Structure 1
Amino acid sequence: MVSAFIPPVLGHSISETIIPDVKTTLNLFGMHLRKVRGEWEYPVHAHPQYEFNYVLEGEQQLVVNNRSYTQKAGDLVLLRPGDTHSSKSGNGKPFTYFCIHFDIDDKILISLLSRLNHVLFESGSTLAHKLSPVFTRLVEISNTISGDITMSQRMRLQSAVFELFGQLWEAFSIEANLPATGTYEKVELAHQIRSRLQGLVFQQFQAELPYDSHYGIDDIAAELGISASHCYRVFRQVFGVSPREFLSEQMLHEAKVLLDDSSLSVSQISSLLGYRDIAHFSRQFKRWYGKAPREYREADK
């Protein structure tokens, strides 16, 4: 195999700094700068990418996952994949906003995003204040585009977005008071654990595991060649919750999706999720959500 980089002969260097290889794929979707009238509304929708929404002038009213937020000039909103949301003017007057949808394969950045429960970051927050100059730059570049985008404009936009992610990392770490997540190897291990936990939910959902199976997190740790305590520690450092908490969140999500389907009885849902009887499922769901499955359905009507 031919090496892409051939180091100088040993002993010929006076000093040297080796930078680790950087391989990152960034995809940008639906980036737009828009000024709208006071009667403008955008209906409820969701998409599989992350979204940043930044208000430049006026006021926007957002409803995200059935919760309302008032976004004013300088405020930043972060939406995660699958978040349902709608928007309109917050005061019946025109407003201007900048929006960008993205996905990126950097696992450390995605891990950090997944740890934060915030949606709205007000202009006075550390994050919004730090990112404001980068959004100003993105808006300036966007204002130079009319018709087809040039190669120069495309590269400048990508450069600004990567600068946004750099500032985002620093600002999020401060905002969330997070310790360093560690090396890529640690993050990769945490993602392997998460993938297997999601597989565990899928197997349970597909009834591929018997109800009395004791296969779980300890077995995942053993398969990965690590101790259970190390499994817990790494997962919590990267994702901010324990593996068991994550597993419970995934099971609750599946349960709520099924309960939203009125054609399924609670008894059928209990069986689909691998529970031996409806009573056990009801107790578990109430422990997760604070309400029994039937109460959840009634409240959702």
Structure 2
Amino acid sequence: MDIKFRFPNMINTLQVTGCHFDHQQPGWHYPRHHHHLFELLYCMEGEVEQEIHRDRFTLREGEWLLIKSGVRHQSSNRSGRTYGYFNVHFDLDDTDIRSRLSAAPFRHIPRSVGERTKLGEYVKKLEGIIPQSQNINEDASDQAGQLRYELSFEERLLLQSYTLLIIHEVLMLLNSPVLGPALPSQAPSSAAPRPASAMTADVAHAIEEKLLSGLSGDASVSRVARELNLSRSQCSKQFTKIYGMSPRQYVSRQKLNLAKELLVTTNLPVYAIADKLGFRSASHFSRQFRRWTGQSPTDYKPRA
């Protein structure tokens, strides 16, 4: 049977930061901190004590932990054994995925659940990307003194691919009843938050519509709040409950997605795209696009 099917256009960004394998000796401690990225942690050996908000628990070998962006946490190896782990910080500009990942401050994946998935297989694939010692540039070390390695183009693609596959497996677990609520053995405060009311969802969707309609002009949160008879803080709070990010972050992501699409699928000059997205000038747009992607709009455009 001849079936014709066209997939939708997809221009999304995956940010991967601090992806690494490491070992820490007994007594090691990483102080309380937070960051704007999601964090996935896999305990490969030993165990580590995690403290998130007021919850304290032990992450043991074979277990996974997803921590929502902005959540304060700290880690300590209080056991008498070496703690080995895989860790990755990431972010995606897909609003549906971010909303699912943001449903709870953190999610714990027990070993018995993780072993039913391909998570372990993908971690081994990532281990296979670890370079041989002769490929490491000893002059390029980070602030912690760890050596950095400049990945080849093929290795970067593999890193992004396996990271996305790991995120996919985690999302599948979050959507399945087999995982259950966040750490059910903990106090109710650590469980997943109560679902937002229908009214909150309606307000958030109304805010989204107005933000999208203003992408080419004034998409300010203050203006949208005034039009909906809300305070700016109410507007931000209700939107964040549903979408897992602030209205300002949402507008930036939508502008970035639209900018990428226009750069890739049209022949519009940079100044025309800047005007279409409501930037003051082409140079203002170029500076912002470089902050978003690390590339200039001209470099991002595909070559003929």
Do residues 49 (structure 1) and 37 (structure 2) align?
A: yes
Match of residue 114, structure 1, among 74, 88, 102:
102
What is the deviation of 1:244? 11
Aligned partner of 1:154 in structure 2 is 156
AA matched with 2:84: T
Gaps of 5+ in 1: 1-13, 179-187, 197-201, 221-242, 251-301
Rounded to whole Å, the distance in 1 between the matches of 2:206 and 2:40 is: 28
Q: TM-score, normalised by structure 2?
A: 0.53
In the TM superposition, what is the alpha-carbon distance from 1:216 to its structure 2 partner? 5.9
Task: Report the CA distance between 1:64 and its aligned residue.
Answer: 0.9
Which of 86, 104, 115 is the matching residue for 1:98? 86
Question: Partners in 2 of 1:127 and 1:100 — Cα distance?
Answer: 19
* Pair 119,173 (structure 1): closer, same or farther in 2 beyond 3 Å: closer
1:85 and 2:73 are equivalent in the alignment: yes
User: How high is the sequence identity, in percent, across the aligned residues?
Assistant: 21
Report the secondary structure of 1:22's partner residue.
Answer: coil
Alignment RMSD, CA only?
4.0
The TM-score, its normalising length taken from structure 1, stands at: 0.54
Paired residues, number = 194
Q: Match for residue 167 of structure 2?
A: 165
Unaligned runs of 5+ residues in structure 2 are 137-148, 182-200, 210-220, 246-304
Partner of 1:40: 28
Give the number of the structure whose residues are more often helix, by fraction.
1
Runs of 4+ in structure 1 off by over 3 angstroms are 126-130, 142-146, 175-178, 188-196, 214-217, 243-247
CA shift, 1:189, in A, is 8.3
Check 1:118–1:41 CA distance in 2 against 1; reply closer, same or farther (3 A cut).
closer
Distance 2:202 2:41 in 1: 32
Matches of 1:61 and 1:160 in 2, distance apart? 27
Q: Write the distance in 2 (CA, Å) between the matches of 1:48 and 1:75.
A: 23
Work out whether residues 126 and 174 of structure 1, in 8 Å CA contact, stay in contact via their aligned partners in 2: no
| Distance in 2, Cα, partners of 1:195 & 1:127 | 39
| AA partner of residue 26 (structure 2) | G
- Aligned mates of 2:208, 2:161 — CA distance in 1: 31
Change (3 A) 1:160 1:245: closer
Residues 197-212 of structure 1 mapped to structure 2, 5 A cutoff:
none
Q: Is the 8 A contact 2:28 2:77 kept in 1?
A: yes
Partner Cα separation in structure 1 for residue 118 and residue 160 of structure 2: 18
Q: Which amino acid aligns with 1:173?
A: N
